[in-house]
Amino acid sequence: MIAGLTLQTLSVAGVAAFAWISLRHQGIGGHITAATIRLAWHSDVHTRAGVAVLAAGGVVYAAGSILMARPYVSRPATLFIAVPAAAAAGMLALGALALIVGLVLTALANNADVPLDIGSLRRAKRPPRQ
């Protein structure tokens, strides 16, 4: 189980290190801005090296998930199909959650009005009929 977690950590760290190096090379004067991140993301997706690093990171992450699930899953089809699919879906969900948190924090840092009271968004209850 430790080996699987280690593989997952190494895959995420490798992709993050590649992205950080790309960001540092494209930053003007060493400053990283939203435009720099957008430029680095588009350039990483459109180059062979960027796609290879992203794909390899995904494959290594799925392999780590297989290693973690191996003691608990008895069917090979589940182990080699369902577990990597669930790992990829979980990785995408966590990425989307991180994006949402980043957007909310950016909005709060820029003094934007963010409605945080979820209860006020519900429809008002109708009065009982008489």
Predicted pLDDT at 70: 92
The DSSP H or E segment spanning 104 is helix 83-109
What pLDDT, in 10s, does the model give residues 37-68? 666 667 777 788 888 888 899 899 999 999 99
User: Which burial class, exposed, middle or buried, applies to 1 when counting CB atoms under 10 A from its CB (0-12, 13-18, 19+)?
Assistant: exposed
Crossing angle (nearest 10°) for helices 83-109 and 48-69 = 120
User: Which burial class, exposed, middle or buried, applies to 15 when counting CB atoms under 10 A from its CB (0-12, 13-18, 19+)?
Assistant: buried
Go through 67-93 and write b for each residue having 16 or more CB atoms within 10 A of its CB, e for each that does not: bbbeeeeeeeeebeeebbeebeeebee
Predicted pLDDT at 118: 59
Crossing angle (nearest 10°) for helices 2-26 and 48-69 = 160
Predicted pLDDT at 40: 65
Predicted pLDDT at 33: 65
Q: Which residues of the chain have pLDDT under 50?
A: none
